[in-house]
Amino acid sequence: QQQVKQSPQSLIVQKGGISIINCAYENTAFDYFPWYQQFPGKGPALLIAIRPDVSEKKEGRFTISFNKSAKQFSLHIMDSQPGDSATYFCAARVKGNAGNMLTFGGGTRLMVKP
């Protein structure tokens, strides 16, 4: 059972465009929603994260929009650049005895064309 559903699986955007990746969840016990960026052959790196008491968070060209009632959150990459080409994972965390285990979405492979 996939607890965090991510779409699209792949995305092609022109340089300067906006990349939008969406995630949806069912478990209302999730209390922390990070996004990770992963380049081939490397480990994931935290990009930006949000708590459900905030509807939007912006850091540079990256923005998370969060809709608690719809149980959806999305990542927007403004002015997309070829260097942004990577796989992006959304994740969600339930705080519990496991020490804050993360559940990952399926990933989105982003390609930004020059």
Give dist(CA 18, CA 77) in Å, integer: 6
Q: Which stretch binds other proteins (CB under 8 A): 11-19, 20-28, 71-79, 93-101?
A: 93-101
| Least spacing, CB of residue 16 vs other proteins, in Å | 27
Cα→Cα distances 112→10, 33, 38, 81, 108, Å: 11, 24, 15, 6, 13
Site string for other proteins, 1-40 (x = CB under 8 A): -------------------------------x-x-x----
| Least spacing, CB of residue 90 vs other proteins, in Å | 10
Does position 94 bind other proteins by CB under 8 A?
Answer: no
Give dist(CA 114, CA 49) in Å, integer: 28
Nearest CA among 53, 58, 13 for reference residue 35 = 58
| Least spacing, CB of residue 57 vs other proteins, in Å | 9
